Every structure is written in C-alpha cells, then in structure tokens.
C-alpha cells in the first residue's frame, strides 16, 4: 500500500478527483459487463450475441461513451477548479515578489470565493504594513542622511576650509624657506583640498542641499554636470512644467530614483550618451532616463544574487521608492540595445496646489540642457 500513499502525496486535488471519477466509470462498466454475463441466457441477449457486427458496434459505442464521459468529466472538473488554479498562480506571483498581485473574482464555489477574499485581504494588510514600515524606514534614513550631511557641511567642511586658509598663509610666510618645505606644504594643501572635495561629494550623496533649497531639476542637473559628464558621458537634461515645487516626499523619491538610474548608467551601461526627461503633468510627474549602453535583461536581475547583486538591489530600491508614493516604474532593456526607465508618480491635487515656492525662474519648459 506504500505506492498508494506515495501517489496520494504526489497528486494534486484535481488529479485525484479526475482519477477517482475515471475509476468509478471503469468500475461501472465492469459492473455492467458482469450483469450482462448473468443475463446472457435471456432470449434478447441470445439474439444480440448471434450478430457479431452488432456486438462490435455496441462495444465501440460503449468505448466512445466512456471516453466522452471522461472528457466531459475533465472539462467540468477543470472549470470547477479554475478559481483554485488562479489562486495558486497569484500565490506564485507573490512568492516571486509581485506584492501587488491579487486573486481575481471568478464565479464558482462559495468556499473558494471566501478563501480568495481572505487571501486578498491578507495581502492588502501585508502590503499596507510593508508600505508603512518601509516608509518609516526611508523617512528615518533621509532624516539621518540630512543630519549627517549637515554635520559634515557645517563642521567638517568648515574646519578643512579654515585649514586651507591657514596653509595658504603659512605658505606665504615660508615661501623663501626652500623647495622642500614649500613642496610639503603644497602636498598637505592638495591632500586637504581633495578631502574637502570628497566630503562635499559625500554630502551631496547623503542629502543634496540643492534639492532642499532649489528643487528637483537643479539637483538632477548638478548631479549630471558633476558626476556623469566628468566621466565622459554626454547627458541631455530636459525639464517641462516645473514652475512650482513638488511635495517633499515626491521630490525626494523622484530624485533618488533618477540618481540611482544615472549611477547604474555610470557603473554598468558602458554608455556614451544618456538623456533625462522630467515632465510635470496634470495629476502627477514623470521622469524618463535613457542610455545607449549595453543593456541587460531585467528578468535576470534579482536583488542580492547573481553576478551583479548591487544592481538588483538598486532596481528593487527604485521600485520600492516609487511604490511608497503610489507610483510605478517601467524598465525596458535588451542586451545590446540600451536601457529606458520611466517612472510615474501621481500627485494629489490639493498637495500639488499647496506646493512650496517656485523653483528658480530659470527652470522654464524644456529649456534645460545640461
């Protein structure tokens, strides 16, 4: 009986019911044959047995009837189990990270419908909890970044700037002391200057003050001019409709997404040209980042695994940031054909109307060429 137990564990419910019904039909046929044996002495049965051709026709019809019954049984069971199959597919999507997936409503068994409703409610609550937790974490992270950046800017940068001034003064006083002394002073000054520049870059990466002071477009332009263009990547930056400021959370999310996309271009794409399109539209804001690099297959990129785990984490982080503000990200890329990333974030009309003071008047429509 072990093989029966093993078969029971391997088969799903649909297969078990189908096999059970097939066995039932076969047993019914066997029972009918056994009954025919007992009644073979009846005159009508004796008459039928004398006609071999008629017996063949009856056997064919019985076999065809059995096959049709099995086929109809399969179709009926397939339709009856369709809600469970859909529920299984949604579970597979959720397991793959598609947390927005929900089981569709399909007419069928009330118990299955209740199971679907409970499953969707569980996903909704889990999604709400995940969004709330991630939002708190990102908000705390941005606040901590802002604090550290402010500390570096207000204290460390000022100390290094003061040190540079004193080194210049000391250099003027010791310029007649010989090449060895002046050379060491020049080395110390260059080292201090490089450290100050690195701290400024780190401060921008942590929390660019230009984003808080002037807004999204100037911050993206600064990043393009100071990070990508020095690396030899020609970048076109276009902006349209940014007469006013965006809500804080939208501005931060969109900047971080664009920053990550540009960083990926710098690190992975081997691109020579890129384009950034920022567009403010009724009801929302969009950003599109394109490059002419080597491209990749988005389906093969998984956070934290594979040959390039950092890239997968970056893409996952961008999707999470967009989702937290109700947005979405579409990534189109193929090996050898570059990459196009588009993000759309909706903006509440009341929040949009109550935006902060306008960005610099220089941010006219489609006039920004980095």
List, as one string, the DSSP characters of 52-87.
Answer: HHHHHHHHHHHHHHHHHHHHHHHHHHHHHHHHHHHH
List, as one string, the DSSP characters of 294-345.
Answer: ----GGG--TT-SS-HHHHHHHHHHHHHHHHTT-EEEEEE-TTS-EEEEEEE
Confidence (pLDDT) at 367: 36
Q: What would you report as the CA-atom Rg of the chain, rounded to the nearest whole angstrom?
A: 35
Instruction: Name the token pair of 160.
Output: 């290094």
pTM greater than the 0.75 cutoff: no
pLDDT, tens digit, for every residue of 290-330? 999 998 887 776 654 555 555 567 788 888 888 888 888 99
Q: Please give the DSSP secondary-structure letter assigned to residue 153.
A: I
Cβ-proximal residues to 148 (8 Å cutoff; 6+ apart), any chain: 206, 207
How far is 200 from 209, CA to CA, in rounded Å?
Answer: 11
How far is 22 from 74, CA to CA, in rounded Å?
Answer: 9
pLDDT confidence bin for 361, thresholds 50/70/90 = very low
For strands 273-281 and 284-291, give the pairing.
Answer: antiparallel
Task: Give the residue among 237, 245, 244, 261 at the shortest CA–CA distance from 322.
Answer: 261
290 - beta bridge partners? 275, 340
> Which region among 39-43, 74-78, 85-89 has the lowest average model confidence (pLDDT)?
39-43
Summary count for the chain: helices (H), strands (E): 12, 5
pLDDT, tens digit, for every residue of 166-187? 888 877 777 776 677 777 888 8
pLDDT confidence bin for 344, thresholds 50/70/90 = very high
Q: Structural domain boundaries of the chain? A: 2-90, 214-370
> What CATH architecture applies to the domain 214-370?
2-Layer Sandwich (3.30)
pLDDT more than 70, % of the chain: 69
């Amino acid at each position: 009986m072990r093989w029966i137990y093993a078969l029971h564990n391997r088969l799903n419910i649909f297969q078990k019911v189908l096999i059970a019904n097939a066995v039932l039909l076969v047993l019914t046929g066997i029972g009918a044959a056994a009954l025919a044996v007992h009644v073979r002495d009846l005159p009508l049965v004796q008459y039928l047995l004398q006609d071999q051709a008629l017996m063949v026709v009856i056997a064919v019809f019985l076999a065809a009837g059995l096959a049709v019954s099995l086929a109809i049984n399969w179709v009926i069971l397939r339709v009856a189990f369709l809600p469970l199959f859909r529920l299984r597919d949604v579970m597979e999507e959720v397991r793959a990270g598609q947390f927005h997936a929900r089981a569709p409503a399909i007419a069928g068994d009330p118990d299955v419908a209740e199971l679907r409703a409970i499953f969707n409610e569980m996903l909704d609550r889990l999604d709400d909890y995940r969004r709330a937790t991630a939002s708190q974490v990102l908000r705390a992270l941005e606040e901590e970044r802002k604090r550290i950046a402010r500390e570096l800017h207000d204290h460390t940068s000022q100390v290094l700037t003061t040190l540079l001034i004193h080194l210049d003064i000391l250099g003027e006083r010791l310029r007649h002391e010989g090449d060895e002394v002046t050379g060491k002073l020049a080395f110390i000054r260059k080292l201090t200057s490089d450290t100050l520049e690195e701290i400024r870059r780190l401060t921008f990466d942590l929390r660019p003050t230009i984003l808080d002071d002037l807004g999204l477009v100037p911050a993206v332009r600064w990043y393009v001019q100071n990070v990508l263009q020095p690396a030899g990547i020609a970048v076109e930056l276009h902006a349209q409709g940014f007469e006013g400021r965006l809500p804080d959370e939208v501005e931060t999310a969109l900047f971080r997404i664009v920053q990550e996309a540009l960083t990926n271009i710098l690190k992975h794409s081997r691109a020579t040209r890129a384009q950034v399109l920022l567009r403010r539209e009724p009801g929302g804001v969009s950003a599109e980042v394109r490059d002419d690099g080597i491209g990749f297959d988005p389906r093969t990129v998984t956070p934290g695994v594979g040959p390039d785990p950092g890239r997968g984490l970056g893409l996952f982080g961008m999707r999470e940031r967009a989702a937290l503000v109700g947005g979405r990200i579409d990534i189109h890329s193929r090996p050898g054909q570059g990459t196009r990333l588009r993000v759309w974030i909706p903006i509440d009309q009341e929040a949009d109307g109550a935006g902060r003071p306008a960005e610099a008047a220089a941010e006219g429509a489609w006039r920004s060429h980095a």
